[in-house]
Amino acid sequence: MTVTLEGKRAIVTGGSLGIGAAIARELARQGADVAINFRRHDAEARQVVADIEALGRRGLAIQADVASFTDAQRMVAQVVEAWGGLDILVNNAGINRDAVIWKMTEEQWDEVLATDLKGYFNYIRAVVEIFRAQNSGKIVNITSINGLRGKFGQTNYSAAKAGIIGLTKALARELGRSNVNVNAVAPGLIETDMVRDAPPKVIEAALAEIVLARLGKPEEVAAVVAFLCSEAARHITGEVIKVDGGQYI
């Protein structure tokens, strides 16, 4: 079956930069109209929308904080009003506030959990009645291999990403009878601007783990997400698919 998203309407959170921007562009390349949120990166968000429109699809950039339940409700309502409905949700927005647990502040813990886990709940809660009513929908949650294995200095991030995996599996059970597929994608270290600015020793340590001996590219994550959003993946739900070049092995 050909992967096509022709006529579908999608929201990608955190879609102005990195993996999120690559996902937004790939969904548009496959035929979807795509709305993204941004909090501060308005110029980058406008560029992603311009790229979506250059592919012949409709794009929207809406300022919204994923940690805000109200902002999520407002954004989903705006997209539905503009496009008459919604078919796909990709939860991608996330932050890092790294520290070993004995130095981690309450603020660092709360900020990561509010964005990286509660932010996913906020958007799922905003779309779920739409998907149930139309008896269709695709939800893809971006997690991390560090949610599967844990990572030194990232107890907050690892906890949030592990929570996303549990959320994905429970949600797949709850929405299966409504014909809604819910899956997760777990990247390893991906070559984004943030990663390129990381200390060389961090990159070297990751490369030593990666079987394919290179960093992943955002477009490689995006391709898997697009597949999961398509009817080609209609009998896949509750899964966690690693895109890590063998880093987890």
| Predicted confidence (pLDDT) per residue in 201-240, tens digit | 889 999 999 999 999 999 999 999 999 999 999 999 999 9
Is 229 inside a domain boundary?
Answer: yes
pLDDT of residue 2: 64
Catalytic residues: 157
pLDDT of 54 above 60: yes
- Calpha distance 16→236 (Å, rounded): 28
The pLDDT of 99-107, averaged and rounded, is 96
- Calpha distance 141→186 (Å, rounded): 9
Is 126 inside a domain boundary?
Answer: yes
Is 31 inside a domain boundary?
Answer: yes
The pLDDT of 115-126, averaged and rounded, is 98
Is 195 inside a domain boundary?
Answer: yes
Decide which of 199 and 178 is more confident. Answer: 178
pLDDT of residue 198: 78
pLDDT of 150 above 60: yes
Q: How many domains are there within the chain?
A: 1
Is 70 inside a domain boundary?
Answer: yes
The residue assigned the tokens 């009998």 is: 235
pLDDT of 197 above 80: no
Task: Domain of residue 84: give its range.
Answer: 9-242
Is 107 inside a domain boundary?
Answer: yes
The pLDDT of 42-58, averaged and rounded, is 97
- Calpha distance 247→225 (Å, rounded): 19
1 pLDDT band, cuts 50/70/90, is: low
- Calpha distance 76→150 (Å, rounded): 32
Determine contact, residues 86/127, Cβ cutoff 8 Å: yes
Is 90 inside a domain boundary?
Answer: yes
Percent of the chain residues topping a pLDDT of 70: 99
pLDDT of 29 above 80: yes
For the chain, the average pLDDT equals 96
pLDDT of 3 above 90: no
Phi and psi, residue 239, nearest 5°? -95, 155
At 238, which CATH number? 3.40.50.720
Is 61 inside a domain boundary?
Answer: yes
